[in-house]
Amino acid sequence: MKKFTESVSFDWRLYRQDIAGSIAHAKGLAKVGILTKAEARKIERGLRAIERKIDAGKFKWDPGLEDVHMNIEAALVRKIGVAGKKLHTARSRNDQVATDMKLWVREAESQCATDIRDLQLSLLLLAERNANVALPGYTHLQRAQPVLLAHHLMAYVEMLWRDAWRFEVFESNLVECPLGSGAIAGTTVPLNRGYVAKLLGFPGVTQIPMDAVSDRDFVLEFLAAAAICGMHLSRLAEDLILWSTVEFGFITIGDAYTTGSSLMPQKKNPDVAELVRGKTGLLYGKLVAALTIMKGLPLTYNRDMQEDNPLVFDAADILQSSLRVMADMLRHTKVNRHRCEAAASDPMLLATDLVDFLVKKGTPFREAHHAVGALVAESEKTGQPLPRLAGKKYGPAAARVFDLRRALAARTAIGAPSPKNVRAQIARWTKIL
């Protein structure tokens, strides 16, 4: 039974938050006269000593004491005696764990936002170093129109910005401190909850204890943000995997981030990107598991809820390590300009520009689209280059449409990939980041 119900094997990671909450609680008890100031100081010194011991890896966790909270409290009582037994006055493990989890998630969200910005910087640096490199843009994984590589990379900078924003918004939602809610209905002890909340960095306190002790929305929000960010990382990983193949050859990933085959000596496998892509599935699983755990629980606290702890811890570890390794890998990724440019020079990529040319001459779009489609079919059937066919039918000006650099320079609308626009975006994001 002890082995089945214990949680200290994973919730020991809350020790810093638990100690911070206990110190604040002790000061709150002293403020209303439940503890003397000397007792509160004695409790704080004892807890700080326990924290240092845990930091040093010398604390022995006892599964028989069930969780991180009881382990620390028992150690405190052994260390300072009777004063330690007074610490749990006017609180329950229900409001204690809710507070610890809010503190932990708040820190995790802040760290994730920091790691996201570091990855954005890596993308930005790669874009800046290769600002003029053109390559095909794709839809349906088929060549569509030419873009600049930097433009492609900046799309991920934009995605990641939304991810950082999500973590920061969810972090800003963690404004109410549950400590003092008790098990379900508060306490008869006249606590100054606002004082304790301020000590822990919360602007306010929760109002309804039944919700406060059973709320795990902040956990679900963290896991949802992590899953969405993981999805963006997986999409980036997929692009990098494709680009690193012999068939594409657009990039070369540094040897430290690839592995060889156990059988085929010529192989260079993009294992880091593949693992990041795979770990996204784990992030999805954490979110779905937490939603499923919470979906049928009556008010208020139920033991099921301890199972959210490893989900959050694992998700944070997976996401933060993925962000960091991707950022580092991109700093050691080389762009093969000649392969990118060769692919981008396919005249078929500028068929739409020929449509635009005809539209500007007064041809209705649908007619222009049909006419250029016919030219494309003729080019594929006869093997004649599309620019030559266009020049024959519509004159030399039509053939000049297929000049890649000219075509890119003409893309001047907001967000379009002209070199000028892309440089402006790089400058904008450099300033932001």
374-418: pLDDT as tens digits: 999 999 999 999 999 999 999 999 999 999 999 999 999 999 999
Query: Are 212 and 112 contained in the same domain?
Result: yes
Partnered with residue 139 across adjacent β-strands are: 142
Tell me, yes or no, whether 192 and 248 share the same domain.
yes
pLDDT of residue 264: 86
Same domain, 22 and 134: no
Q: Both 350 and 330 in a single domain?
A: no
Q: Is 170 in the same domain as 273?
A: yes
Residue position matching structure tokens 């300009």: 337
Q: What is the CATH number of the domain that holds 56?
A: 1.10.275.10
69 in active site: no
Q: What residue ranges of the chain have pLDDT lower than 70? A: none
In the chain, the number of structural domains is 3
Q: Residue 153: is it exposed, middle or buried by C-beta count within 10 angstroms (0-12/13-18/19+)?
A: buried
Same domain, 361 and 240: no
Boundary-marking domain end, from 89, 121, 153: 89
Q: Backbone dihedral region of 364: left (phi > 0), alpha (psi from -120 to 50 degrees) or beta?
A: beta
Residues 326 and 425 in one domain: no
CATH number of the domain within which 202 lies: 1.20.200.10
**Alpha-carbon span 88 to 35, nearest angstrom:** 11
Tens-digit pLDDT profile for residues 69-116: 999 999 999 999 999 999 999 999 999 999 999 999 999 999 999 999
Cβ pair 351, 358 in contact under 8 A: no
Q: Are residues 67 and 183 in the same domain?
A: no
- Segments forming the whole domain that contains residue 48: 2-89
Are residue 315 and residue 328 in the same domain, yes or no?
A: yes
Of 9, 261, 338, 370, the catalytic one is 261
Q: Among 29, 63, 89, where does a domain finish?
A: 89
Q: Is 261 marked active-site? A: yes
What CATH number is given to the structural domain containing 427? Answer: 1.10.40
Q: Which two tokens stand for residue 100?
A: 């610890």
Class of residue 369 by CB neighbours under 10 A (exposed 0-12, middle 13-18, buried 19+) = middle
Which residue, among 15, 193, 223, has the nearest Cα to 100 in the 3D structure? 15
Q: Is 49 in the same domain as 117? A: no
Give pLDDT, residue 215: 97
**Final residue of a structural domain among 317, 341, 365:** 341
